[in-house]
Structure 1
């Protein structure tokens, strides 16, 4: 599987604002599915579970069952891999353009 096709589930998972909110909550600490459901009173439990399933398929969330509770943990490695592959590669180019623009505006030679 190419890196792009491995990245697709991550981009899909990050595309929905509710899933990003769930990741933000899990960034602070692991949470039970029940606790996550309580934090989204406008969504029913089934919808929260569907969002968690998409996050798990993208390997952004790892779920562990402890007794009767299901604990959800953030796995930030796929986001780091996206950053390394896509963002950092383009950030250097963008910074060089901004540096050139600053020099042009200040009238400094490169």
Structure 2
């Protein structure tokens, strides 16, 4: 049991730089992913970035666009069949309907792993 907890901590620590990198962007480039007053935990649970260091800008925002560049075979479901692009994105997920027969609403790179590991 102790080994499992240690392994989980090490895996999470290895993922933190990737999360910081996908959330490191200029404040004017932030795209809203939450709502006024959203908590950091709720924002991150939606797969979004949270940074309240600067007043007057979006604190809960979508990760950088390139995190949605996921091989269709490696996509992790984030929605349900028939979900709209807007609903999918409101969940903090990626939407790409260009390839038939694969998940269209899916977790961004690195986000699904962080969610599973932190539960």
TM-score, normalisation: structure 1: 0.28
TM-score, normalisation: structure 2: 0.27
